[in-house]
Amino acid sequence: MMKAKTHNITIAPQQERLKAKEGENLFHFLVRQDYTIPSACGGVGTCGKCRVLLLKGARAPSESERVHLTEAELEAGWRLSCIQHIDQDLVLEIPEVEESVRAKELLSKVLHIPLDSGVKKTYLEFPKSSQADQRPDTIRLQEELGEGQLTFPLPVLKKMPNLLRQEDFKATVTWAANHVLDMEPGDTTRAQYGVAIDIGTTTLAGYLLNLNTGEEVAVRSRMNPQRSFGDDVISRIKQAHERGEEGLRELQKAVTSGINIVINHLCQTARVSPAHIYKATVAGNPTMIHLFTGIDPSNIAHSPFIPVLRDSLILPALGLGLDMNPEGQVHILPSISGYVGADITAGILYTKLHQAEGIQLFIDIGTNAEIVLGNKDRLLACSTPAGPALEGARIKYGMNALPGAIAYVFLNDRDLKLETIGDRAPKGICGSGLIDLGGELCKLGLINERGNFGRRVDLPISNRIRQGEKGQFQFLVSDGSKPIYLTQQDVRELQLAKGAIRSGVEMALRELGVTLDEVEVVYLAGAFGTYVRRESVLRIGMLPELPLSKIKPVGNTAGQGAKLCLLNQGKWEEIQRLAEQMEYFELSYLKDFSQAFIGSMHFPKHPHLE
């Protein structure tokens, strides 16, 4: 029996020596050895949290490492552990994740806000009742707490008399905004958590935060179980509408159970009881918010695109069936219109367009791309139908950004280099890969302005352009055991997507009456914005011609905004105000939008970024 080849892994500064098998994934190896490595994506290379410092054995950085780490960090040897395959001896340091350090980082460095969740938890040793002190239980609590008039929910009133006497009038009370949420015997003040939830059409993300320290104690994401009812919001609305109340209930149940699985995973990871989660904040697009609350979104699907809700909502957890303290309150962030939702207001809260002096542009790309343009004086928002191409749908070999998806493509005259998510064998093309392909092919002139493939005899790479079904040209992306092509039709879908976004941006500039030069920053939000190469975005003309440095990928801003509202009541007030301030305009009602859309489908005449 041949023994598998092994490598020495040395953990500095402890100088712990471990043996790892050739080819093993570093992230999973370290986790198995009981090292705490933060990860939001579970080790598939998309969250950028699992960084380690390679003192020996660092390879050239991958594109996704370039996205998540700075030049200086890469230079120093920082890499993402989840995309390292062990093929040599390594010496590495694992960053400390000691509680107070992480809390400090989260609050002061990352979110820049003071901790003020509104949830309070106090341990009290009450004076016992006696002939001289006949105060009722509620009054006793209220007066000992010294917080003025409190209201009590029935379940707390029901358990109060026995609970108080159970531990000899020693108990912990939890309350928010003068409303008591819970009582427990003894001192449980340390157990005080909140959860921020981002309901994406594709993915549910949950963030468990310690409301005492501000620490993010666990992060989880998971496919939205509603996907079995359809990939995009329109197909889900159709399901809900056609099957009436029953359909609506099923869709609500699907998303609620998905969120509950996320919450339970978060709680297991951090060893927290769901009963100690007292507050939740929820972001999501308007359809997701309607379906989560069980409200019929039907009228969003057709003109004039009317949602039921726009303002924020505060609802008891019990009524929504969430696995958290039943008296805990669920704060649903405000929306703007039928397509510009709480995910966008959360993104603006986080990126601070509403406080900017200069003009800023915020784009969240999905089946619909939401565009917000403006500054502290005025903010315009619109939604443009980018279609499903950038989420991998209607693309012959398209797929979501999951392990094995081609995320980055690099072409030169003769060679092609790919990067896949999780460094797996290529299985398909996701949105960022599609844009990279478009950009690289444009760069080499293998696609013309009108989007047609054309061979260049001077470039050996041209031989990847081949005739497929019905004599249509297609580009061979990967020729492994399962060849992957980019078809002419795929290029058309890309043109529709990028044309919708480009024309939306142009219209927003016109509506606000500003020029492109005045735009000081473009935030690309969402998973897509995080992974896409900005060069390729410009090469295909998805955005008008801008300096590359003005484009900033900002990741899941919906989740970040939800966290802000979870940790700080002032931010919850602020998001109400900014939602009021934002002006929505209906792109599809503008007379010349169709024309602009068609014009924007062309690729730029001359590659401009060589």
Residues at the interface with its own copies (CB under 8 A): 129-131, 133-139, 149, 151-152, 154, 157-158, 160-162, 165, 293-296, 298-299, 303-311, 313-315, 319, 337-338, 584, 586, 589
CB nearer its own copies, residue 7 or residue 135: 135
Q: How far is the CB of 334 from its own copies (least distance, A)?
A: 11
Phi and psi at residue 569, in whole multiples of 5°? -65, -30
Q: How far is the CB of 83 from its own copies (least distance, A)?
A: 44
| Cα distance between residue 303 and residue 175, in whole Å | 44
**Tokens in use for 495?**
């043109």
Q: How far is the CB of 199 from its own copies (least distance, A)?
A: 17
Q: How far is the CB of 166 from its own copies (least distance, A)?
A: 12
Give the list of residues 6+ apart from residue 65 with CB closer than 8 angstroms, or none.
74, 79, 80, 83
Q: Is 50 left (phi over 0), alpha (psi -120 to 50) or beta?
A: alpha
CB nearer its own copies, residue 166 or residue 269: 166
CB nearer its own copies, residue 115 or residue 295: 295
CB nearer its own copies, residue 315 or residue 393: 315
Q: How far is the CB of 380 from its own copies (least distance, A)?
A: 14
| Cα distance between residue 243 and residue 232, in whole Å | 17
3-state class of 98 per DSSP? coil
CB nearer its own copies, residue 101 or residue 314: 314
Strand order, beta sheet including 119-125: 119-125, 170-176, 179-185
CB nearer its own copies, residue 136 or residue 480: 136
CB nearer its own copies, residue 125 or residue 449: 125
Q: How far is the CB of 187 from its own copies (least distance, A)?
A: 22
CB nearer its own copies, residue 4 or residue 132: 132
CB nearer its own copies, residue 209 or residue 280: 280
CB nearer its own copies, residue 196 or residue 237: 237
| 516 secondary structure, DSSP code | G
CA gyration radius, the chain: 26
| Cα distance between residue 354 and residue 345, in whole Å | 10
Q: Is 52 exposed, middle or buried (CB count within 10 Å of its CB: 0-12, 13-18, 19+)?
A: buried
CB nearer its own copies, residue 150 or residue 393: 150
CB nearer its own copies, residue 100 or residue 162: 162
Closest to 110 (Cα-Cα) out of 51, 64, 49, 50: 49
CB nearer its own copies, residue 100 or residue 130: 130
| 25 secondary structure, DSSP code | B
Q: How far is the CB of 193 from its own copies (least distance, A)?
A: 24
Residue 9: CB atoms within 10 Å: 21
Q: How far is the CB of 237 from its own copies (least distance, A)?
A: 12
| Cα distance between residue 548 and residue 535, in whole Å | 7
Q: How far is the CB of 211 from its own copies (least distance, A)?
A: 24
Question: Dihedral of CA 544/545/550/554: which sign?
Answer: positive
Task: Give the DSSP letter string of 328-384.
Answer: -EEEEPP-SSSSS-HHHHHHHHHHTGGG-SSEEEEEE-SSSEEEEEE-SS-EEEEEE
For residues 373 and 379, the answer to whether their CB atoms sit within 8 Å is yes
Strand order, beta sheet including 6-12: 16-21, 6-12, 90-93, 51-56, 78-80
Could you give the C-alpha distances from 467 to 351, 368, 462, 463, in angstroms and in order?
46, 32, 12, 10
Q: How far is the CB of 297 from its own copies (least distance, A)?
A: 8
Q: How far is the CB of 132 from its own copies (least distance, A)?
A: 8
CB nearer its own copies, residue 162 or residue 549: 162
| Cα distance between residue 323 and residue 116, in whole Å | 23
**Tokens in use for 545?**
């011609």
| Cα distance between residue 183 and residue 327, in whole Å | 11
Q: How far is the CB of 328 from its own copies (least distance, A)?
A: 16
Closest to 121 (Cα-Cα) out of 84, 162, 173: 173
In whole angstroms, what separates CA 70 from the centre of its chain? 21
Q: How far is the CB of 165 from its own copies (least distance, A)?
A: 8
* E-state strands within 57-159: 78-80, 90-93, 119-125
Question: In sequence order, which ranges of 476-568 are alpha helices (DSSP H)?
Answer: 488-512, 526-531, 534-539, 557-567
Q: How far is the CB of 569 from its own copies (least distance, A)?
A: 17
